[in-house]
Each structure stands twice: as C-alpha cells, then as structure tokens.
C-alpha cells in the first residue's frame, strides 16, 4: 500500500523507468553496460516505492498514552521551554526519520485540533539543535481529555523539501490516523506535560501509531 502523496511521483517515475528501458535497449549496444544502467534505474524506482509505502498499523487506542507519530529513532528526550504555544516547560521527545523510514505522520493522541500552523524556514540537518525553531515546520496541538493538549511538530531536514499537514483546527482526530507526510527525511518533535512518564529511551527505534512514548500519571 502506498501513501496518496506518492501516487503522482510513482506514476511519473514509472513512466521514466519504462521510457529509459526502451532507450537503453535501443541505443546501448554493450550488454553489461546496458544491464548495469537498467539495474541502477530499477533500484531507483524501488527506493521511490519504499519511501512512499504506507503500511497498516495496529494502533491500540488508549486515552492515557501518547504514541509515536512517526517511524524512526529517538534522538532527543529533554526538558525544554516551548515558546510557540505553551510558553512554558515541557518534555520534548524527538524522533529522527532516515530516507528509508516510513514517512507518514500519525496523530499521537485522539481529540480535537486546537492549533495548526505552518512556518517557512531553513533546511538545517534534522538533528541540528536549532532545527525545531528555524527549519520549515508545522505545529499541531491536539486537545485530549486525559493527556491534556499535546503538541507535535513536523520539521523539514536537509533533504525534506515539502511537509504535508492534514490537521485542521476544530476537527476531531483519531489516535494513529494519518495527520500528514514529510518527503525525504526529517524529524518530528512531541511536547509533553512535565508529569509524563516517558516510555522510550535515546536511540530506541519506534513505530508510528504503535510505540508508546509516554503515559500520563
């Protein structure tokens, strides 16, 4: 299953692959060179398919849990000052996605979207300390009766040049459902209340819509 954000790119890439195969077969006479070019192009197409895959996730909805919004590796767990929405101290958990990870963003909690804003910005590498404040990004806050408001932020990286955000203010969302997509590698930050019980560790690999990153006390 492929994400809808990739349908156009996959089709264009497929046309390119088929056309390239015809041209290579027609004009390249050296057999090994011809096969080598075809293999390179085929690998490129497989990587595109890999990037836009959208596997189903077994989300166990729980009002007291906050799930990871994306696949990747936990790179930050620290207390920070969240200056855009809360304007107070929160626990930040950041998940870095490589180009090989699934890049679907999922709602970490169920509830109502109270804030959703896009910010243009730079394209620093996603693990840069200032990426959360200076890179292109979107910020979404979901109000949940048990956890309170949970903020998550999609952040573009050096390769990611387009962030897609489906969250609209005053709409109800379901934990684990699609909330957006980040193209070609980046990270997502989640800002949690200080009394949250963190369930992940640094460098742990997590799965969007399945891995519990925090429980509410």
Contacts of 158-161 spanning 24+ positions with Cβ under 8 A? 158/123, 158/124, 158/125, 158/126, 158/185, 159/99, 159/184, 159/185, 159/186, 160/123, 160/126, 160/136, 160/184, 160/185, 160/186, 161/123
Q: Across the chain, what does the average pLDDT equal?
A: 89
The mean pLDDT value for 173-189 works out to: 88
Q: Are residues 191 and 106 in the same domain?
A: yes
Q: Are residues 74 and 163 in the same domain?
A: yes
Q: Are residues 80 and 156 in the same domain?
A: yes
Which of these, 70, 71, 132, lies nearest to 107 by C-alpha position?
Answer: 70
Confidence class for position 48, pLDDT limits 50, 70, 90 = confident
Q: Are residues 32 and 87 in the same domain?
A: no
- Structural domain harbouring 173: 65-216
What separation, in Å, do the N-terminal and C-terminal C-alpha atoms of the chain show? 37
Give residue 185's pLDDT: 62
Has residue 203 been placed in a domain?
yes
- Decide which of 10 and 204 is more confident: 204
Q: Is 22 helix (H, G, I), strand (E, B) or coil?
A: helix
Q: Are residues 210 and 180 in the same domain?
A: yes
Q: Is 92 helix (H, G, I), strand (E, B) or coil?
A: strand
The angle formed by the CA atoms of residues 94, 205 and 53, to the nearest 5 degrees, is: 95
Confidence class for position 60, pLDDT limits 50, 70, 90 = very high
Most confident of 33-42, 96-105, 184-193: 33-42
Q: Are residues 32 and 132 in the same domain?
A: no
Q: For 69-115, what is each residue's pLDDT tens digit?
A: 999 999 999 999 999 999 999 999 999 988 788 889 999 999 999 99
Give residue 29's pLDDT: 85
CATH number at residue 135: 2.70.70.10
* pLDDT for 53 beyond 90: no
Give residue 189's pLDDT: 95
Least confident piece of the model among 7-21, 69-83, 158-172, 190-204: 158-172
Q: Are residues 166 and 74 in the same domain?
A: yes
Q: Are residues 123 and 207 in the same domain?
A: yes
The span from the CA of 97 to the CA of 181, in Å, is 12
Instruction: Give the chain's count of helices (H) and strands (E).
Output: 3, 14
Check 116, 179, 186, 196 and give the catalytic one: 186
Number of domains in the chain: 2
Has residue 59 been placed in a domain?
no
Give residue 47's pLDDT: 82
User: Are 135 and 155 contacting, i.e. CB atoms less than 8 angstroms apart?
Assistant: yes
Has residue 56 been placed in a domain?
no
- Decide which of 158 and 136 is more confident: 136
Q: Are residues 79 and 164 in the same domain?
A: yes
Confirm whether 110 is a catalytic residue. Answer: no
The span from the CA of 209 to the CA of 152, in Å, is 14
Has residue 179 been placed in a domain?
yes
Q: Are residues 126 and 211 in the same domain?
A: yes
């Amino acid at each position: 299953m492929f994400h809808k954000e990739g349908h156009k790119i996959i089709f264009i890439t497929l046309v390119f692959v088929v056309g390239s195969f015809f041209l290579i077969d027609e004009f390249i006479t050296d057999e090994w060179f011809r096969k080598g070019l075809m293999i390179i192009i085929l690998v490129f197409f497989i990587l595109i398919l890999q990037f836009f895959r959208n596997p189903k996730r077994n989300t166990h909805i729980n009002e007291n849990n906050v799930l990871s919004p994306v696949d990747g590796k936990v790179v930050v767990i620290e207390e920070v000052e969240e200056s855009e929405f809360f304007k107070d101290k929160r626990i930040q958990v950041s998940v870095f996605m490589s180009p090989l990870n699934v890049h679907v963003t999922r709602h970490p909690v169920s509830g109502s979207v109270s804030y959703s804003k896009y910010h243009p910005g730079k394209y620093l590498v996603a693990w840069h300390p200032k990426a959360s404040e200076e890179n292109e990004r979107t910020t979404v806050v979901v109000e949940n009766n048990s956890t309170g408001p949970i903020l998550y932020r999609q952040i573009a990286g050096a390769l990611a040049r387009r962030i897609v955000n489906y969250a609209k203010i005053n709409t109800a969302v379901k934990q684990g459902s699609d909330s957006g997509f980040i193209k070609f590698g980046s990270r997502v930050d989640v800002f949690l209340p200080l009394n949250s019980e963190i369930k992940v560790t640094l460098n742990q690999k997590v799965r969007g819509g399945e891995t519990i990153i925090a429980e509410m006390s």
